[in-house]
Amino acid sequence: MGFGVVGMIALVACSGGGDGGDATELTAEASAEAGGTDATPYTSDLEPTATPELATPTPTPKPTATSAPVNTNENVRNYANAHNYLNRGDYVQAERRFTLVIEIEPQFARGYEGRASALMAQGKTAEAIRDFDRAIELKPDLSSAYAGRAVANMSVGDILGANQDAVQARFLDPEDPNSVIVLGRIMSGAGRMADALEMFNEGVELAPDEGATYWWRGRFLFQMGNYDLALGDLSLAIELMPVSPQPYLDRASLYMDVFGDFDLARADIEEGRSLGEEPRDRDILDEADELLERLEALEAEAVAG
């Protein structure tokens, strides 16, 4: 899935994992039809300023027995289409499709998880958390739902909840990059920079083909003043997820404020703004406009000087 408030998301959808086969799920057929998902947390731009000690993972409870699912070909197609909409950034349609999946099979945990990702991408965090809660209630070993809820908890400032969910997700599926990215963000906010870098590096190692892992590490390196490395990571993020607007805007800031390359900064701002037009993302458009205004002021100063 995509890492997304990533930004998740960015890149919002959370990758599956850590739950093994399940005859009650549509995943195998649906993901084949959908072409898979990518892995991207998304978030608010504000990082926490303190962190609790890393939580100890809790034993995974056994799920409550439920009746056999419908699992019709039609619902497999609905699920696949929902993920297609999610990956294309059409979050409203993705939410509608996942809702249809849930209406047909209300015991399908991944339907709630998918809808939560679509809700997160629209800024509907409280609703997303309720869907993640339901997914975990139905399938307590669904690692990606814990990872998704960790991202959601971070976006509402629940650092303790984010920490607990990220640790649980990592316990259930050590190969899921979403949980280590969340832990990296928590450690960064707490000033544990060496530990944070270790987490971000691990995220890249776990998902070297996922743009969001480079994006998060690039943002961290930018914060740390490692500008050349940050530029490399942000450029890789753009190469791997060229339709995600946020990395363009982050790279534009780097070009503008650090390297003084106003032409490249303008090109990235314009590309990011264009990508924020469809589907329309007000936050992206506002950020692009603010960057462009600041760029024009710097250009005017350069001419006057």
pLDDT digit string, tens, across residues 181-194: 999 999 999 999 99
CA separation (Å) from 98 to 17, 76, 85, 111, 222?
A: 19, 11, 10, 6, 37
Distance (Å, whole) CA 222 – CA 237:
14
Reply yes or no on whether the pLDDT at 5 is more than 60: no
Residue 221 Cα to chain centre, angstroms? 18
Helix (H) or strand (E) holding 37: none
Tell me the CATH number of domain 27-210, given options 1.25.40.10, 2.70.98.10, 3.30.70.100, 2.102.10.10: 1.25.40.10
Reply yes or no on whether the pLDDT at 300 is more than 50: yes
Reply yes or no on whether the pLDDT at 140 is more than 80: yes
pLDDT computed for residue 78 by the predictor: 92
Domain ranges of the chain: 27-210
**What mean pLDDT is predicted for residues 39-48?**
36
pLDDT computed for residue 96 by the predictor: 96
Give the least confident one: 49-53, 164-168, 197-201, 247-251: 49-53
**Contact status, residue 88 vs residue 66, Cβ threshold 8 Å:** no
What confidence category does residue 30 fall into, taking pLDDT thresholds of 50, 70 and 90?
A: very low
Select from 246, 231, 236 the least CA-distant residue to 211. 236
pLDDT in tens, 94-125: 999 999 999 999 999 999 999 999 999 888 99
Reply yes or no on whether the pLDDT at 172 is more than 70: yes
pTM over 0.85, yes/no:
no
The larger pLDDT score, comparing residue 15 to residue 75, is at: 75
pLDDT computed for residue 105 by the predictor: 94
**Contact status, residue 224 vs residue 193, Cβ threshold 8 Å:** yes
Residue the block writes with tokens 């979050």: 91
**What mean pLDDT is predicted for residues 277-302?**
93
For residues 138, 142, 144, 148, the Cα torsion angle rounded to the nearest 10 degrees is: 40
pLDDT computed for residue 32 by the predictor: 38
pLDDT computed for residue 74 by the predictor: 87
